Structure formats: C-alpha cells, structure tokens
Amino acid sequence: MTTTLARDAAPPDAAIRPRPSKWVWSWTGAGVFAVAALLLVVVGYLVAGISSGSVDWTALLTDASWSPPNAAYGGLAMIYGTAVVCALALILAVPVSWGAALALSEYLPPRVARLLRMCVELLAAVPSIVYGLIGIMVIRPVVAWIGDVPGGDSLLAAGIVLAVMITPTIVAVSVDALTAVPDRYREAAFSLGLTRREVIRSAVLPLARPGMRSAVLLGLARALGEAIAVFLVVGRADGRLPTSFDGFLHSLVHPGQTLTTKLAGPEPVLAGTSGPYFAALCGLGLVLLAFVAAATIWGTRGQKRGTSDKRAPAFRGAPRMRVERDRLAMGLRLGALLLPTALLLGMLALLVTRGSSAFNPSFWFTSATGAAGGGVRDQIVGTLLLIVTTGLIALPLGFGAGILIGVHASERVARLLQTLTIVLGGAPTILLGLAGFVILSSTMGWGRSWLAGAIVLVPVVIPVIALATSARVRSMPPELTESALSLGLTRAQFIRSVVVPYAWPATLTGLLLGLARAAGETAPLLFTATVFFGAPAFPSGVVESPVQALPTHIFTLSQDSGDPQAVTQAWGSAMVLVLITAVLLSAAVALRNRFEGERWTT
Amino acid sequence: MDNVIAVRQLRVLSRDKTLVGPVSFSLERGSTTGLCGPSGAGKSTVLRALVDLLPTGLTRDGDLQVLERPIAPGKGDADLRAKIVLVPQTPVVFGGSILDNALFGLRHILRAPREVLKERAEQALREAGLWKEVSDRLDSPAQNLSAGQRQRLCLARALALEPECLLLDEPTSALDEQSRDTVEQSIAALRGSRTVLLVSHDPAQVERLCDTTVHLDQPATVSPAAAAVS
C-alpha cells in the first residue's frame, strides 16, 4: 500500500469563500481610499478650517447678521434661506411628482410609460446650470410679475427653480419603487372587486411607500446641495430674517441668501485660508454637509426597510361614491403627469429656439471672440479634457470600491461602505470645490489648474461607478459564484475571470452616467480650474494652467442677462452642453438596456 | 337550473392571433366545474378573460354572459369582479393581520359597522376551513401562516364577498401533499352551496372534486383559409 499525498481537505461545512491573494488587497485598499479618504478630505478640510480660527457656534447658528468687516459671523439668515427654499421646492414638487409617478406606473399603457420614463431620466440628468438659465429667463420674470419685485430675484424664484429641478429625480425614483411591487399583488386586489384607486391605496402603496419616501429625501438632498441654479436667481442679500408672518410672506418675494450661495460667492476667495473669517465659512460648510448627510442617510434607511411596512389598514366601512372617487383620482394623477411633460416640451422648445446658434457648425469649431461673440470650440475642448481626465482617475478607484462592496466586504461592512458612498455622491459639489481650492490651488500652489478641476470632479463620478458595479456584482447568480469557487479559483482568479466579465457593462454604464453629471458641474470648477476668457484651448502645464469650460461659460454669460448677445451665446452653449450630456447618457442607457432593465441613476 | 356564467366561443387573442380557445361552457348554480387541459393551453388565461384581468396586449373575443347579462370585452369592472371572484394560483398575503386580510375586499365594498364586518370574516374563515386554526390569533400578522393556510386565507377573503362564482386557479399546485388535502377538503365543502370553476392539471383532482369537466385544447394553428378571411 502506498500512502497518498495527504492534502488538507477543507472542512465540509466551511462556507465557500474564495482564497485570498495579495494583489487583490492592494486593489481593495484603493477602493477604501477612494470612498473613505475622499469623504475624510472634505470633512477634514472643514474641520481644519474651523480650527484655524475659533468659530462662535452660537452666533453662527442663532445670529442673523453677517458682516466680515465687523467680525460678525451669523449664519441664521442663510439657514433660514436654505430651509425656505427647500421647503418651497418640496411643497411644489412632491404632490406633482408622486401623482406623475402613479400615472406612469399604474395608469398609462406600458409602451407610453416606458418612453416617458426615459424622458424623465433624461430630464434628471440635465445640468443644473441649464435649470439656472431657465430660472433667469422664465421663472424670474414670472415672479417679478406676481410679487412686484424688480428683477424677480427672490427666495420664491429659487424655490420654484429647485422644484423644477428635483421633480424628475423624485418621479424617476418613485416610479422605480412602484414598478418593483409585483403584479400579483395588483391582480389579487383587483380580483376582489376593488377599483383602481383602492388597489393602489391598499395593495401597491403599502409596499412602495418606503421607496417613494426615499425618493423625496434624495430630491431634498439635491435641493439642499444645489449652489449654481439657486445662485443665479436668489438675489444673494445677507441678513434678511423675518420677525412676523407678514414679514415671512414679504421675505418670500424678496432677495435672500442660502448656505450654498454664500459659499459659491466670492467670499471664500477673499477669506484667505485661515483666520476667523475662513473658519466661519467652513462652519457654514459643515452645517450644510450635516443637513445633506442627514437627508441622504435617512433616505437610504427607508429603502432598506423595504417591505417591512406592516401598518394595519384602518378599519372602516366602504366609502360612498367609489366609482366617482376612482375617476377623480385618475384625473388628478394624469393631470399631475401633464406638468413634467409640459416642462419637458417647454424646455426642449426653449433650448431649440433660443439655442439655435448651436446648430450652426461654426459655433462648434471657432473660438470665442471678445466677451460675447464667436463660437465655443475652446470651451468644448476644455470640458472634454476635464471629463476624460476625471474618468481616467475615477474608473479604477470606483471599480475597486464597487468590487470591495460587492465581493469582499461582509454584510455589515458593505452596508456601511454603501452608505458612505451614497453620502459622498450626495455631498454638495460646492464643498468639493472649496476643498480643492484650499488644498490644491492654495496650499499646493497649483493656482487655477485643469488637473485640479479634474481631481475635484473625481468624487462626483466615483460613487456612481461604485454603486453601479456593486449592484451588478450583488445580482450575480449564486450558482455562478459557487461553481467558479468549487473549481478552486483564488480570489484574484475569481475576480478576473468571473466577476469582471460579468460586471464590466455596469461599470462602464456607471462611468458614462457619472461623466454626464460631471460634465455639467459648475460649482467645483469656478475656483479651481476654469476661467471665462483668455486661456489656451490646451493647457501646457499643471501649475497656473486654467481651461475654459462650457458650464463656466454659461454661468458667466447668464449673469449678464441684460445683453441680448450674451443671452444668445449662453443658450447656444447650454444647447451644446445638453447635447454632450445626452450623448453620454444615451450611450449609458443603450449599454444598460443590452444586459438588463435596472437603472442606477438617481 | 340557471347559469351563473355562460361562455360561447370564447377566444383570447394577441392582435389577430388566437392564443387560447375557442371554448364554450356554462356554469350551473351550485356546481363545481373542472377546467383541464395540457399545460400551455391557457387555462389560467381563460379565468382572467372571464373577469377582464388579461395582461396588456391580450383581448377577449366571443360571448360572455354573467347572470344572464352580456359583458362586452373590456367592460368588466369592479362590480363584476366582486361577484365573480378569481383566486390566483400563488397565494398573495397583504401586510396586516389575518383579519385585515380576510376583510381586504369586503372592507371596500360593504358599508357596515365593525361588528358586522367581523362576523362576515368569521363566517368566511369557517367556510374556508381555517377558523379553528386562527380563531385565537386574528390580530397577528398574516405573513406567519403556512402555505396551505395562506391559500385558504385567500379562499376565505374571496368567500367573504359572498360571490356568485369562485374561479380557482390551480389552488393546490404550490402546496405539499398534506396542505393539498386540507385545501381540497375546503373546496369539497363548498360543493352544492357555491358555484366554482376549478382549474387543474391533475385529472385525479378534477375527478375527486368536480361534477362536470370542460376540456381546453391547444388552439389549432391558423389555417391559410382562416387567415385570408380575417
């Protein structure tokens, strides 16, 4: 008898896990770095800023007067402005969005609904600077007419702009929650003789409600963090705080200031990089980040709880006039859908008629001349340079983070990392810009640099890639994992030959969606990377090498709304920017539809 | 003897293509009728056609009379579905207690005080053969019930509406042998008092439970002549 080579057999009850290998850990490290470190940089920058000069928190949170020359740093008026603007946005947007979402998922025939859903997703990806432009050109005059305010710059105008901006987001995410309710619930309720309205109320909404609630919180997070669109219409007047109800109504139709618009103004550049002035601004940033993070975390919480909403329906007899109520509900919901549809058509009409210069090829291929003439060739080149660089940096990091969440992390760690990633994705981009300005432009002495701009945009793209990748990896059939691992693959081999081929379309989709977002970002670039005029199309170094970019171009031109020439140029540039985003987005959608119906846009 | 439902030359079409049928039958009051046929013949689709719950894209064709009244395709409404109640194949249990589930439909249809509703629920649970098992925990979540109990709960909430006719879609296909027997007992107990149309792929089950049987065959492929006529 010869003895066979003794090989350590795995205990039969051991859970199937891939064997670890070294290089994967370095990748994992990159993933951790990407998510946690970026968040730490933003928070750390704010904390460092605060500790560079003592912040009087009581004054910051309770005092309304902001006057740096007199060393008065009270932020209450800005917090009030932010609260009012966001509350207005939610009051206007939520009923319409929920109604429209119900119409899309429960009333319209599937083919029409699918088409409209695609349009809604497209609207959700339109850069906020374009919404800001619409605010200036359309909403401001309307508010000026209603409220008898010269110019129309007011909290009300800002609230309406934000409502218009977040409606597509809330509709898209709510429709997802509604369509996730299995049809057998509807059938079971219908077959018991319920009307459509009763089916929705008793069988569909109990399951969809958590998702619809987190759609609202996601919209709220967007509204809280939005700087540019608000900046253009809010009037930026400091220290306005009403003391009575009449004063409150009065304040609605008068200029105000919000946290984000204060940070997007010229003050961060004037404040230097230490001292009480700078510290107070960082304090405001921290307050803003706390608001946004709270909304985001609350929102993802609701989604996790999912179907556990077991509130017992109230015990009541049948209402009278069931058929009439059913018809009324249908009318209201289909009516609610008209608003976003009208918005879509109106926006298209505006862009096409006002931005007609974008259809002239010379607009794409000539440089700008003077303040408001010529084409936008250099701006297009600059925008492309920024997003390509951003994509190159973000792709490996986002993919690493996605794999980390999807493959390696335990259930609890994965949930934590996922929440962190979502918070990073929801972080107000103006804060990313300020952190980049202080760290890259000032401390490292890069000045305005295209590379700084690209780096600042990286945190915008990483979460989209990471979440798309991890969602795809998590949806991998367990048989696939099991059969691969039972062949004795190491973790690295497993990732290379099973996970990557399965997940790459999702990663690429995430990259394209993220870049579509990054292309329209204005706030992070203003201080770090872009100038309006006078930079070469291609920068030749890193230090003090700014570029021109489309969002900055539109932002600067739109503030000069008295000059018809500038307005034409702004609309033309907006059309070009929308076209670039649309191309990226349709590529992403086409890619996604090729392998499944899921969506990751938020 | 009056017919609760009478169907003549019923077909289900997708555009102009016949997917199911034609089939003709009538359900006598108080009888239990079996609907059998090979899988894929469209037995469940016929049930859905009777209450106008066909998936989008499918349409009904042929005569349908419910309680001597003709129902045009697409004109079935909540009132019809409260009289002719379909119990789907996989039991769907809604959030809330067992009592909430038993009253899920009735709550919307009957305007009555709480006690009356509760009484109707008890009656229905007894009729479905579930009362003994759940009478002491009506307020506990219905999600905790076993598969066989869930199926009988779905039966009970249909019975609570006091329907003219019950359409049962393979009520035992998702169950193990033991729960199958209890559900079959419940269905057998309805014989004579309720009008039932039972879809089943199991000839032995139809033999055990039904008075008459309707056979549904795969639709003949459309002949060129028929295509030319349409």
Residue of A129, A79, A136 lying closest to A258 (CA atoms):
A79
How many C-beta atoms lie closer than 10 Å to residue A199's C-beta?
22
Q: Which residue of B92, B110, B199 is the best one to mutate when testing the A interface, meaning the one whose CB has the most A CBs within 10 A?
A: B92
* B15 and A CB contact within 8 Å: no
A185: nearest CB among B92, B96, B117: B92
* Strand bridging mode B3-14 / B165-169: unpaired
Cα distances (Å, whole numbers) of residue A147 to A139, A247, A252, B160: 12, 14, 9, 58
* A198 and B CB contact within 8 Å: yes
Size of interface A-B (CB pairs under 8 A): 98
Q: Do A313 and B107 lie within an 8 Å CB cutoff?
A: yes
Q: Do A311 and B85 lie within an 8 Å CB cutoff?
A: no
Total H helices, total E strands in chain A? 28, 4
Name the token pair of A403: 């794999």
- Could you tell me how far CA A383 lies from the centroid of its own chain? 19
Describe the crossing of helices A205-225 and A155-179 by its angle, rounded to 10 degrees.
Answer: 150
* Pair A258, A230: CB distance under 8 Å: yes
| The predicted structure's pLDDT at residue A362 | 75
The length of chain A is: 602
Q: Alpha helices, DSSP H only, in A355-376?
A: 361-365
Q: Do B94 and A310 lie within an 8 Å CB cutoff?
A: no
A187: nearest CB among B53, B109, B158: B53
* Pair B162, B119: CB distance under 8 Å: no
* B161 and A CB contact within 8 Å: yes
Indicate whether B225 pLDDT > 50.
no
Q: Do B82 and A109 lie within an 8 Å CB cutoff?
A: no
Q: Do A317 and B161 lie within an 8 Å CB cutoff?
A: no
Sequence spans of domains, chain A: 79-260
Question: Which tens digit of pLDDT belongs to each residue from B156-205?
Answer: 888 888 888 888 888 888 777 887 888 888 888 888 788 888 888 888 88
Report the phi/psi class of residue A45: left, alpha or beta, with left for phi > 0 and alpha for psi in -120 to 50: alpha
| The predicted structure's pLDDT at residue A284 | 86
* Pair B171, B183: CB distance under 8 Å: yes
The span from the CA of A351 to the CA of A317, in Å, is 52
The span from the CA of B130 to the CA of A209, in Å, is 31
* Pair B88, A188: CB distance under 8 Å: yes
Q: Alpha helices, DSSP H only, in A369-499?
A: 377-403, 411-426, 429-436, 450-474, 478-485, 491-494
- Kindly give, in sequence order, each residue whose CB lies less than 8 Å from that of residue B181, ignoring residues fewer than 6 positions away: none
Structurally, chain B folds into a number of domains equal to 1
Please tell me the number of Cα atoms within 13 Å of B107 on its side-chain side.
20
* Pair A166, A222: CB distance under 8 Å: yes
* Pair B178, B210: CB distance under 8 Å: no
The span from the CA of A555 to the CA of A532, in Å, is 9
The span from the CA of A97 to the CA of A170, in Å, is 6
Q: B100: which chain A residues are within 8 Å (Cβ-Cβ)?
A: 312-313
| The predicted structure's pLDDT at residue A222 | 85
* A311 and B CB contact within 8 Å: yes
Q: Do B56 and A110 lie within an 8 Å CB cutoff?
A: yes
Q: Do B141 and A310 lie within an 8 Å CB cutoff?
A: yes
A188: nearest CB among B51, B92, B107: B92
Q: What ipTM is given for this predicted complex? A: 0.87
Q: Which residue of A192, A316, A323 is the best one to mutate when testing the B interface, meaning the one whose CB has the most B CBs within 10 A?
A: A192
The span from the CA of B155 to the CA of B69, in Å, is 26
Provide the shortest C-alpha distance from residue B150 to chain A (in Å). 13
The span from the CA of B35 to the CA of B198, in Å, is 6
The span from the CA of A296 to the CA of A26, in Å, is 30
Residues linked to residue B84 through DSSP beta bridges, in sequence order: B165
- Shortest CA distance from B113: residue in chain A: A317
CATH number at residue B48: 3.40.50.300
Max alpha carbon distance in chain B (Å)?
A: 64
Q: What is the CATH number that goes with domain A79-260?
A: 1.10.3720.10
Residues linked to residue B58 through DSSP beta bridges, in sequence order: B14
- Shortest CA distance from A110: residue in chain B: B56
Question: Which tens digit of pLDDT belongs to each residue from B103-148?
Answer: 888 888 887 778 888 888 888 888 887 888 888 888 888 888 888 8
Q: Do B108 and A312 lie within an 8 Å CB cutoff?
A: no
Spell out, as residue ranges, where chain A has pLDDT lower than 70: 1-37, 239, 301-320, 358, 370-372, 408-409, 561, 595-602
* B111 and A CB contact within 8 Å: yes
* A346, containing H or E segment: helix A322-354
The span from the CA of B121 to the CA of B35, in Å, is 29
How many C-beta atoms lie closer than 10 Å to residue A29's C-beta?
12
* A452 and B CB contact within 8 Å: no
Instruction: State the residue range of the domain holding B45.
Output: 3-229
> Among all chains, which residue has been given the structure tokens 């335990």?
A410
Question: Which tens digit of pLDDT belongs to each residue from B68-84?
Answer: 888 877 777 888 888 88
- What is the pTM assigned to this prediction? 0.81
Residue type present at position A298: W
* Pair A449, A487: CB distance under 8 Å: no
Q: B108: which chain A residues are within 8 Å (Cβ-Cβ)?
A: 193-195, 198, 202, 318, 322
Indicate whether B227 pLDDT > 50.
no
Q: Which residue of B94, B111, B120, B197 is the best one to mutate when testing the A interface, meaning the one whose CB has the most A CBs within 10 A?
A: B94
* A314 and B CB contact within 8 Å: no
Instruction: Give A 202-221 residues with CB within 8 A of chain B.
Output: 202-203, 206-207
Residue of B23, B44, B152 lying closest to A187 (CA atoms):
B44
Cα distances (Å, whole numbers) of residue B64 to A148, A368, B26, B37, B83: 64, 72, 10, 21, 14
> Among all chains, which residue has been given the structure tokens 């909304």?
A295
Residues linked to residue B165 through DSSP beta bridges, in sequence order: B84, B195
Provide the shortest C-alpha distance from residue B204 to chain A (in Å). 27
Q: Which residue of A105, A184, A186, A191 is the best one to mutate when testing the B interface, meaning the one whose CB has the most B CBs within 10 A?
A: A191
Question: Which tens digit of pLDDT belongs to each residue from B19-48?
Answer: 887 888 888 888 888 888 777 778 888 888
